[in-house]
Amino acid sequence: LLPLALPFAAMLQRQRVMNRPQPQVLPAELPLGLSIAGDAVVHRHPDGRVQAWSAHCTHLGCRLDRVIDGAVVCPCHGSRFDDQGRVLNGPAARPLQALRVHAEATGGWTVHPSA
Pick the closer one to ligand FES by CB: 77 or 86. 77
Q: Which of 63, 17, 58 lies closest to 40, judged by CA?
A: 63
Select from 10-18, 20-28, 45-53, 70-78 the region that touches ligand FES (CB under 6 A).
Answer: 70-78
Residue 79 binds ligand FES (CB under 6 A): yes
Residue 92 binds ligand FES (CB under 6 A): yes
Residue 64 beta carbon to ligand FES: minimum distance, rounded to whole angstroms: 8
Residue 74 binds ligand FES (CB under 6 A): yes
Residue 66 binds ligand FES (CB under 6 A): no
Select from 1-9, 18-26, 37-45, 75-83 the region that touches ligand FES (CB under 6 A).
Answer: 75-83
- Sorted by sequence, the CB contacts under 8 Å of residue 65 that are 6+ apart come out as 36, 55, 75
Q: Can you give the three-state secondary structure of the chain, one letter per residue?
A: CHHHHHHHHHHHHHHHHHHCCCCEEECCCCCCEEEEECCEEEEECCCCCEEEEECECCCCCCECCEEECCEEECCCCCCEECCCCCEEECCCCCCCCEEEEEECCCCCEEEEECC
Binding marks (x or -) toward ligand FES, 17..46, rule CB under 6 A? ------------------------------
Residue 62 beta carbon to ligand FES: minimum distance, rounded to whole angstroms: 4
